[in-house]
Structure 1
Amino acid sequence: MTDVSIVIPARNEAPNIATLLDGIDAALAPVCDYEVIVVDDASDDGMAEVLRTRRATAPRLRVLRHDRSGGQSAAVHSGVRVARGALIATLDGDGQNPPEELPKLLAPLMAPDSEAVGLVAGQRVGRQDTLSKKLASRFANGLRARILKDGTRDTGCGLKAFRREAFLALPYFDHMHRYLPALFARDGWAVAHVDVSHRPRGGGRSHYSNLQRGLVGIVDLAGVAWLLRRRKKSRPTELTE
Structure 2
Amino acid sequence: MISIVIPCKNEAENIPPLLDEIEQHMAGRSFEVIVVDDGSTDDTATVLAEEHARRPFPLRHVRHRESVGQSLSLRSGVLAADGAIVATIDGDGQNDPQYIPQLVDRLVEAGPGVGIACGQRVKRKDTKLKQLSSRFANWLRGSILGDKTRDSGCGLKVLHTETFRRLPFFNGTHRFLPALVIQEGYDVVAMDVVDRPRRFGKSNYGILDRGLRGAMDLFGVWWLKRRRRQMPVAEEVRYD
TM-score (norm 2): 0.96
Which letter maps to 2:163?
A: A
| Residue equivalent to 2:25 | 27
Structure-2 residue corresponding to 1:138: 135
2:192 is aligned to: 195
Q: Deviations over 1:97-127 (max 9, x none)?
A: 011111111111232x612111001000111
Distance across 2 between alignment mates of 1:163 and 1:230 = 25
SS in 2 for 1:79: helix
Q: Which residue of 1 aligns with 2:162?
A: 165
How far apart, in 2, do the equivalents of 1:109 and 1:203 lie? Answer: 31
> What SS does the aligned partner of 2:86 have?
strand
- Indicate the SS of the match to 2:5: strand
The gaps in structure 1 that reach 5 residues or longer are none
Question: Residue 179 of structure 1 is aligned with which of 156, 176, 180?
Answer: 176
The code of the aligned residue for 2:226 comes to R
Question: Quick check: 2:118–2:189 contact (8 Å CA) kept in 1?
Answer: yes
Distance 1:152 1:26 in 2: 28
Query: Following TM superposition, by how much is the alpha carbon of 1:240 offset from its aligned partner in structure 2, in angstroms?
Result: 4.7
| 1:108 and 1:117 in contact (8 A); partners too | no
Q: Which amino acid aligns with 1:60?
A: P
| CA shift for structure 1 position 63 | 0.6
The alignment's C-alpha RMSD in Å is: 1.2
Change in Cα spacing, 1:86 to 1:135, as seen in structure 2 (3 Å) is same
Shift of 1:239: 3.3
Partner residue in 2 for 1:239: 237
The separation in 2 between residues aligned to 1:239 and 1:87, in whole angstroms, is 29
Is the Cα–Cα contact under 8 Å of residues 7 and 88 in structure 1 kept in the other structure?
yes
1:46 aligns with 2:43: yes
| Matches of 2:103 and 2:124, distance apart in 1 | 18
Is the Cα contact below 8 Å between 1:6 and 1:36 reproduced in 2? yes
Structure 1: which 4+ aligned runs deviate by more than 6 Å?
none
1:107, 1:234 → 2: CA distance? 26
Q: Give the equivalent residue in structure 2 for 1:5.
A: 3
Alignment of 1:52-91 (within 5 A): 52-58=49-55, 59-91=57-89
- Unaligned stretches of 5+ residues in structure 2: none
Q: Which residue of 1 aligns with 2:112?
A: 115
Q: TM-score, normalised by structure 1?
A: 0.95
Distance in 2 (CA, whole Å) between partners of 1:185 and 1:170 is 10
Instruction: Give the whole-Å Cα distance in 2 for the aligned partners of 1:171 and 1:191.
Output: 17
Do the aligned residues in 1 keep the contact of 2:107 with 2:189 (CA within 8 Å)? Answer: no
| TM-superposed deviation, 1:234 | 5.2
The answer as to whether partners of 1:119 and 1:162 remain within 8 angstroms in 2 is: yes
Cα distance in structure 1, aligned partners of 2:53 and 2:188: 38
Aligned-residue identity in percent: 50
Question: 1:65, CA displacement in angstroms?
Answer: 0.3
Distance 1:226 1:26, change over 3 A: same
Structure-2 residue corresponding to 1:206: 203
Deviations 1:28-80 (A, max 9, x none): 013x1000000000100111111111111224101100010011111111000
